[in-house]
């Protein structure tokens, strides 16, 4: 069928929200969509090898094609429950930055000669371990790809319409964790009221806490800059989400399409280079869908 989501309401086939306590994405995917994906999923060994090679995913992280026992590398997208029309999956965001010890230069004080120690972060040494997080990013990229289009046969008619569609990438290069997608008219038209009704500092704090969980030791002196870069704002009806990085975030593709009655709009990312940045943006999109669900009276 493949109707264009920006042009009118389409029965929902998936949505996702973010749980800031558990730091997970929670997907609600229609049961008939899962059945169709299981029947059509034909991932050959070349696909798996390409991700393993480009992201250095070790062989001991196996790739699972099963939705019921855990999908993706390491079965990281896990089936947890179901409702009448939807199956529910969860994907936890892992820690990337791991503390390895106390800094010998500053003896753990975080200061050297009256200045911040340049040999450590807040008195501790650390290393970045990307494999688990990159495996999640690769799994999410495929998962969103499987959910990219409206099902040909809407066997199930849910009580709400599709809020947005999203696709993600995961490659080891500049812009390799990019996102792009589309907001439906109903979701786009509701975004300004969602933004007015929420406390933006709370959203920034939620995004920031995920960033620290994944990418920081929690002891650095420059975390305030990270908090400043985590934001969600509404510019003339267009959603802008920023995350730590070099002017990194999500923006509308074309501003002239914003606010047109009965139409949604497309969005894409800028300078999103790794899974840590992508995770913060996904969390913000998930939070907004959660607020949207409350307004229309559904439980996600």
pLDDT of residue 268: 97
Region of 224 (left: φ > 0; alpha: ψ -120 to 50; beta: rest) is alpha
List the structure tokens of 229: 């870069």
Query: Highest mean pLDDT: which of 13-22, 34-43, 105-114, 146-155?
Result: 13-22
Mean pLDDT of 200-205: 84
* pLDDT at residue 284 in the model: 96
Compute the mean pLDDT over every residue in the chain, rounded to the nearest whole number.
Answer: 89
Q: In Å, what is the CA distance from 170 to each residue of 43, 50, 52, 102, 274?
A: 17, 11, 11, 33, 7
**CB contact at 8 A, 33 and 147:** yes
For the chain, give percent helix, strand, coil, nearest 5: 35, 25, 40
Over range 251-280, report the average pLDDT.
93
Per-residue pLDDT reduced to its tens digit, 105-159: 999 988 888 888 888 888 898 899 999 999 999 999 999 998 988 888 778 889 9
Percentage with pLDDT > 70 across the chain: 93
The rounded distance, in Å, linking the Cα atoms of 296 and 262 is 17
Most confidently modeled range among 82-96, 150-164, 255-269: 82-96
Residue whose C-alpha is closest to residue 5's, from 236, 169, 166: 166
- Measured N-to-C along each axis, helices 131-146 and 275-296 cross at an angle, to the nearest 10 degrees, of 50
Please give the DSSP secondary-structure letter assigned to residue 5.
Answer: G
Quick one: average pLDDT of 186-192? 91
Q: Using alpha carbons only, what angle is made at residue 165 by residues 160 and 170, rounded to the nearest 5 degrees?
A: 145
Q: How confident is the model at residue 28, as a pLDDT? A: 97
For residue 80, the model assigns a pLDDT of: 97
Half-sphere exposure of 156 (CA within 13 A, CB side): 21
CA terminus-to-terminus distance, the chain = 26
Tokens 């990270």 sit on residue = 226
- pLDDT score at 251: 94
264 contacts 274 by C-beta, under 8 angstroms: no
Is the pLDDT reported for residue 286 higher than 90? yes
Q: In Å, how far are 79, 112, 226, 229 from 241, measured between CA atoms? A: 29, 36, 14, 9
pLDDT at 56: 86
pLDDT for the residue numbered 37 = 82
The residue extents of the domains of the chain are 10-296
Name the more confident of 129 and 200. Answer: 129
Q: Residues of the chain with pLDDT > 90: what percent?
A: 59
- Residue 221: pLDDT band by 50, 70, 90 thresholds? low
Instruction: Calculate Rg over the CA atoms of the chain.
Output: 20
For residues 212-224, give the mean pLDDT. Answer: 73
Greatest mean pLDDT among 41-50, 109-118, 167-176: 167-176
- pLDDT tens digits for range 75-86: 999 999 999 999
Q: What is the model's pLDDT at position 44? A: 56
């Amino acid at each position: 069928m493949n109707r264009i989501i920006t042009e009118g309401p389409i029965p929902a086939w998936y949505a996702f929200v973010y749980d800031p306590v558990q730091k997970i994405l929670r997907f609600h995917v229609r049961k008939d969509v899962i059945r169709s994906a299981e029947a059509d999923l034909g991932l050959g060994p070349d696909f798996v090898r390409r991700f393993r090679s480009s992201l250095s995913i070790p062989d001991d992280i196996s790739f699972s094609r099963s939705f019921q026992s855990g999908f993706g590398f390491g079965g990281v997208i896990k089936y947890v429950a179901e409702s009448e029309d939807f199956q529910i999956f969860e994907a936890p965001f892992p820690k990337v930055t791991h503390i390895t010890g106390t800094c010998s230069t500053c003896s753990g004080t975080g200061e050297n000669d009256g200045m911040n120690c340049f040999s450590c972060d807040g008195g501790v040494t650390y290393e970045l371990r990307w494999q688990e997080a990159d495996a999640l990013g690769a799994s999410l990229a495929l998962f969103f790809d499987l959910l990219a289009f409206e099902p040909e046969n809407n066997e199930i008619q849910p009580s709400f319409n599709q809020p947005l569609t999203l696709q993600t990438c995961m490659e080891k290069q500049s812009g390799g964790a990019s996102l792009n997608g589309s907001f439906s008219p109903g979701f786009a038209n509701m975004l300004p009221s969602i933004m007015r009704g929420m406390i933006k500092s709370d959203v920034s704090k939620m995004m920031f806490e995920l960033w620290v969980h994944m990418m920081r030791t929690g002891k650095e002196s420059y975390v305030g800059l990270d908090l400043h870069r985590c934001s969600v704002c509404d510019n003339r009806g267009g959603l802008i989400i920023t995350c730590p990085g070099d002017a990194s975030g999500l923006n509308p593709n074309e501003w002239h399409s914003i606010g047109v009655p009965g139409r949604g709009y497309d969005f894409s990312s800028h300078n999103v280079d790794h899974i840590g940045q992508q995770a913060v943006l996904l969390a913000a999109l998930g939070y907004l869908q959660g607020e949207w669900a409350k307004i229309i009276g559904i439980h996600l």
